[in-house]
Amino acid sequence: MHNNTILELAHGLRGGEFTSVELTRAYLDRIASHNPALNCLISVCEEGALQEAELADRRIRAGDDGPLLGIPIVHKDIFCTDWVKTSCGSRMLDNFTAPYDAHVVSQLKQAGAVMLGKANMDEFAMGSSNENSFYGPVHNPWKAGSVPGGSSGGSAAAVAARLCAAATGTDTGGSIRQPAAFCGITGLKPTYGRVSRYGMIAFASSLDQGGPMARSAEDAAALLQAMAGFDSRDSTSAEQPVPDYLSALNDDLKGLRIGVPKEYLGEGLDAAIAESIQLALDEYVRLGAELVEISLPNTHLGIPTYYVVAPAECSSNLSRFDGVRYGYRCSDPKDLEDLYKRSREEGFGAEVKRRIMIGTYALSAGYYDAYYLKAQKIRHLISDDFRAAFEQVDVIMGPTAPSTAFAIGEKADDPVNMYLSDIYTIAVNLDGLPGMSIPVRPVNDMPVGLQLIGNYFQEARLLNVAHQLQQVTNWHGAAPAGFE
């Protein structure tokens, strides 16, 4: 059962081939077998999952329908859940259980999805390798000792290893797409505002966006259908109609104009990855699409811009974790100042503290204009690049990451080199555009991701374009050895 897609599982549940309880038990058994080595789940909700599965079975017997009803999934541990710990991969929240569900969690629960557990992640979503977790690094199921990408690495590894049918993730600078590429799955970052951030613990509020992580574009469409939509509790939620993502999957691609940025296929990209990307582009030409060379001239400014804007916002958002109201508190503080200092010193990891310090500096008097304000101006230039590109093309394509998954510890002492892992993904967040990664031909038996970027609220088009490639290739169907 674990090798079936969401729609195949839904068909089996409706046809009485198996029950949601049986399906959930099968996934729980796989988690018990494989999670100790992968470390991709922080919390496993065996009792609650079986209760939700029993409820789903009753709904199915009563004639209820829906592609997610009875389907076991995993939530990234950044989404608040009202009966399970929400840690954000941090010691700071190791003892925190939210009193409510995040909007994404409640939407998927209403759709009948069964929550198996909470996925490991880089602390407060800060990282590109899932090594920055209080609970230890996640291992890539494709190669022991390799990173799964970050920050949604736990979600990506769980989907790739068939420990769940699908998972949720969040993307601030590539944190759905890059781990999807490293783990050989499909990951979609929607347009900013398409999915509510209510109950999603904030890292950088103008960049964060939740999205689906699944084995195929079809599965991602089913997940996004439940996740998307306006939420009055989130002031940045977009009041835009939600299309039927599944019905648009089979539109043909004749006349589709694919923009290929010259900046994405140059220096810094592994030559073998470039070949895999070109192979996928050739498939699109055979499907009736046209390739158009475009330029995104400010691409090289994306990383320095992001690493001013994102730390500045995280400095503000994480100021609430002070050891007073909830979360980690140091023992035996001498006074209030000592409580603040030691709670934050002991509760936060090294990468989080690094970004808080950078952000606080960038926002400080005398430096705001030189750093933060200038970064926001460059952000507008990056947006102008995309706006000009979409006057010429319908979708933009290129690599998701410049390399395949690297070894755990390989870049741990070189933050700048680590940050370069997101060089192709960051600009999408700075402009709030939708983007996704889908698997293409592997390199040295390791997954490679093709990134698709669309115009605002064009998720249906991206899913359609991805699905059409997955109908004529099977790169997305491969499973890591030992997890088939």
Catalytic positions: 76, 151, 175
In 14-150, which ranges are E strands?
Answer: 41-44, 72-76, 114-119
Beta bridge partners, 407, equal: 146
Asked if 77 and 119 touch (Cβ cutoff 8 Å), the reply is yes
Closest Cα partner for 349 from 89, 39, 77? 89
Burial of 402 (0-12, 13-18, 19+ CB in 10 A): middle
HSE of 103, CA atoms in CB hemisphere, 13 A = 22
Closest Cα partner for 118 from 132, 97, 103, 139? 97
Please give the Cα distance from 133 to 89 (Å, whole number): 5
Closest Cα partner for 42 from 106, 103, 85? 85
HSE of 1, CA atoms in CB hemisphere, 13 A = 24
Give me the sheet containing 114-119, strands edge to edge.
Answer: 41-44, 114-119, 72-76, 166-171, 209-214, 186-189, 435-443, 446-453, 395-399, 257-261, 290-294
What DSSP string runs through 238-299? Answer: ---PPP-TTTTTT---TT-EEEEEGGGSSTTS-HHHHHHHHHHHHHHHHTT-EEEEE--TTG
Question: What is the helix (H) or strand (E) element at residue 142, kind and residue range?
Answer: none
